[in-house]
Structure 1
């Protein structure tokens, strides 16, 4: 397979009602769609990467500190995946299968300061499927970096969301019009086997 699913920041802090920087109900609405994609990729043993924002408590040097409340603090429940996604991961009692990877990221983009591009290229992956939150922040910045690195991009419009609906709609258009991404929904005839 030359494709990978990226689940970006679908954590309690970004999605749960009591999350520190939550999308709330819009973010919760996409849970089952993300889970369906995770299961589909897992069933075919296709690469899945959970890119998870991580911050140190009281980090005055991080640029987000001035922009957002503290969130996804290392070692907190806020960093765990939301509901069914965490339940899926908890089902692997010893270690995750080789095709599933958890990775930390400290910036909006899953590529910034990480070895993600190297790992994808090692596996001959040329297409990334993007899901998670927030559409206009971490999904967008990841997509821009993927574009600049030469990856093909598929954004699952019904598996991304934001706390800013105007930003969400802007980003969906930007993916398509400026990055040449394929923007799909579950009703579209599209499977991972076609990649």
Structure 2
């Protein structure tokens, strides 16, 4: 039995309209939520998850903007996405860094024991950090599984870095799709 997976990456308040929010991120929330609601397959959500010691971490030293601190309003999913997550009873992965090896391992296990993974699609935030990191990890873990990203359902830190991440993913045989 082949299965399709949709990974909704870090659609959290701090990336939408909080400490690291952008107009581009805010603009995709409802479309991402609708895509996750109607996706015919398994939907998974990730949460960028930091603790109070964030500024002492490697990431915090390079990006000294506290964000997605577990338990804060900024850590929570954007409301439209959270409604979908709850309605679907979707699996959640909390990740302390950009890419989630736990998520990639979980998919690899599903491919080996839970029925063939037919495809993995990613959408969400930020294209140039967490989306690209997870897409490349999954491609490395499962090179024969089609990995797809819908650019219109992603937003980067800036429009320029969004485009740069799309170029990187295209070069690494990640399919860019529309719809």
* Range of TM-score over shorter length: 0.7 to 0.9
Once residues 70 and 113 of structure 1 are traced to their aligned partners in structure 2, the CA distance between those partners, rounded to angstroms, is 24
**Contact 1:111/1:117 (8 A) holds in 2:** no
Compared with structure 1, are the counterparts of its residues 78 and 141 closer, same or farther at alpha carbon in structure 2 (3 Å cutoff)?
Answer: same
Q: Find the counterpart in structure 1 of residue 67 from structure 2.
A: 71
Regions of 4+ moved over 3 Å: 89-92, 112-120
Deviations 1:29-85 (CA, angstroms, capped at 9, x unpaired): 1112211211122xx3x2111011101112455211112211100111111111311
Deviation at 1:20, TM superposition (A): 1.7
1:137 aligns with 2:138: no
More helix by share: 2
Alignment counterpart, residue 26 of structure 1, candidates 19, 24, 27 = 24
**Contact 1:110/1:116 (8 A) holds in 2:** no
TM-score, normalization by structure 2 = 0.87
1:180 aligns with 2:151: no
User: Unpaired segments of 5 or more residues in structure 1?
Assistant: 187-195
Once residues 47 and 109 of structure 2 are traced to their aligned partners in structure 1, the CA distance between those partners, rounded to angstroms, is 16
Q: Find the counterpart in structure 2 of residue 190 from structure 1.
A: none
Q: Find the counterpart in structure 2 of residue 8 from structure 1.
A: 9
Question: Matched residue pairs, number?
Answer: 173
Deviation at 1:91, TM superposition (A): 4.6
Deviation at 1:117, TM superposition (A): 3.4
User: Unpaired segments of 5 or more residues in structure 2?
Assistant: none
Q: Find the counterpart in structure 2 of residue 55 from structure 1.
A: 50
Once residues 108 and 49 of structure 2 are traced to their aligned partners in structure 1, the CA distance between those partners, rounded to angstroms, is 20
Alignment counterpart, residue 162 of structure 1, candidates 156, 172, 175 = 156
What is the aligned-residue RMSD (CA, Å)?
2.0
TM-score, normalization by structure 1 = 0.80
